[in-house]
């Protein structure tokens, strides 16, 4: 009996040789029309050259839906992402299915099980680190994936959309230094998030560049919600030598800082300056209007939707990792410090 020791050629092998994604090769095999002609010819030639044996499988039907998955949906930040995704989906005649998995592995598995029972053009995960098993499940279903503000370091082949968080943290802190502040408190987001760590690194870099000490006693860890901003600011304001300004790593926490300042009988910006991050729609209407770093949330959602729809068609993307620019928006919540 002759044993054939030649390694079996897989779809992943063909994808590597062709320089395309596994879903693209699958679309060619299944006879889908949504693959560029040159790409189709290159993949077909490799399939024939390597003797790939095709299984008789039905092409995945076009669903007219894109899935948008959050850990939680209790934030105006999420609303801005949804708005951007839906703008693009609506223009493409595609519906949007919004889900929350609450950072639980069991919820993620349950979500994937429900996905097996229906079709989707692609999946956008927001503020999440997609476990290898979940990403593998999506690959087996031939479903493209895009990550927005990934939780942790994503896998090399993942498409990610983010913002220039380090530059935003740097510009916010430099602005306060330029006003004359030397004791600047910082309220960070969850350390597991890359965007949180990048904003803190930007804060530290600005202080170091200005020759100012990085005082860990002026750094508090928040969680991107109002309550943590309030609690962290309360501790900072109770210090024997409190900061003259506080940079909160998101607008929701900055609004919590406002309340802590008010309850202490102080005023923004007369007694303490405050800067946020995100530029949510409501912060221009608070009193005083908040100076903040604009993160292009809706634009991030739009780009994520365009990217996942391109992947669904088997098209290549220019870059698998994209960062959109942040911008400091100066309003009325920060002034030069008062002499004490």
CB atoms within 10 A of CB 276: 30
| Higher pLDDT pick, 37 / 255 | 255
Q: Which two tokens stand for residue 12?
A: 């992943």
User: How far apart are the C-alpha atoms of 196 and 75, rounded to whole Å?
Assistant: 16
Assess whether the previous peptide bond of 269 is cis (omega < 30° from 0). Answer: yes
Between 143-147, 149-153, 214-218, 282-286, the lowest mean confidence (pLDDT) is in 149-153
Residue with tokens 């895009």: 146
Between 29-33, 77-81, 88-92, 263-267, the lowest mean confidence (pLDDT) is in 29-33
Which distant-in-sequence residues (6+ apart) come within 8 Å of 230 by Cβ?
256, 257, 259, 260
| Higher pLDDT pick, 43 / 26 | 43
Q: Does residue 67 contact residue 134 with C-beta atoms inside 8 Å?
A: no
User: How far apart are the C-alpha atoms of 143 and 95, rounded to whole Å?
Assistant: 16
- Of these ranges, 56-65, 144-153, 278-287, the one predicted with the greatest mean pLDDT is 278-287
pTM of the model: 0.78
Q: Dihedral of CA 76/78/84/85: which sign?
A: negative
- Of these ranges, 41-45, 184-188, 281-285, the one predicted with the greatest mean pLDDT is 184-188
Q: Quick one: average pLDDT of 296-300?
A: 95
**Termini Cα distance of the chain:** 92
CA angle at 132 for the pair 126 and 133, rounded to the nearest 5°? 105
User: How far apart are the C-alpha atoms of 229 and 332, rounded to whole Å?
Assistant: 19
E strands of the chain, at which residues? Answer: 65-70, 95-100, 123-126, 145-148, 159-163, 184-188, 219-221, 245-248, 273-278, 291-294, 321-324, 327-329
């Amino acid at each position: 009996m002759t044993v054939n020791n030649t390694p079996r050629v897989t779809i992943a092998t063909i994808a590597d040789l062709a320089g395309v994604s596994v879903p693209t090769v699958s679309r060619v095999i299944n006879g889908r029309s949504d693959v560029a002609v040159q790409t189709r010819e290159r993949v077909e030639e490799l399939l024939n050259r390597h003797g790939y044996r095709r299984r008789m499988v039905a092409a995945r039907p076009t669903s007219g839906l894109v899935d948008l998955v959050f850990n939680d949906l209790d934030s105006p930040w999420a609303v801005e992402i949804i708005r951007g995704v839906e703008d693009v989906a609506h223009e493409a005649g595609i519906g949007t299915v919004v889900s929350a998995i609450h950072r639980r592995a069991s919820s993620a598995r349950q979500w994937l099980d429900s996905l097996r029972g229906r079709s989707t053009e692609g999946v956008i995960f927001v503020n999440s680190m997609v476990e290898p098993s979940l990403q593998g499940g999506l690959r087996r279903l031939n479903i493209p994936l895009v990550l927005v503000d990934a939780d942790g370091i994503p896998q090399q082949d993942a498409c990610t959309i983010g913002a220039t968080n380090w530059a935003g943290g740097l510009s916010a802190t430099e602005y306060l230094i330029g006003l004359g502040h030397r004791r600047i408190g910082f309220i960070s987001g969850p350390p597991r998030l890359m965007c949180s760590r990048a904003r803190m690194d930007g804060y530290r870099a600005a202080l170091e560049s200005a020759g100012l000490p990085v005082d860990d006693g002026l750094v508090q860890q928040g969680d991107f919600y109002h309550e943590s901003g309030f609690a962290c600011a309360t501790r900072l304001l109770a210090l024997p030598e409190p900061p003259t300004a506080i940079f909160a790593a998101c607008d929701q926490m900055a609004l919590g800082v406002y309340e802590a300042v008010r309850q202490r009988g102080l005023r923004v910006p007369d007694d303490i300056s405050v800067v946020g991050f995100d530029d949510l729609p409501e912060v221009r209407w608070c009193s005083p209007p908040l100076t903040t770093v604009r993160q292009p949330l809706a634009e991030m959602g739009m780009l994520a939707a365009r990217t996942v729809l391109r992947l669904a068609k088997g098209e290549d993307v220019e870059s698998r990792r994209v960062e959109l620019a942040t911008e400091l928006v100066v309003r009325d919540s920060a002034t030069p410090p008062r002499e004490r």
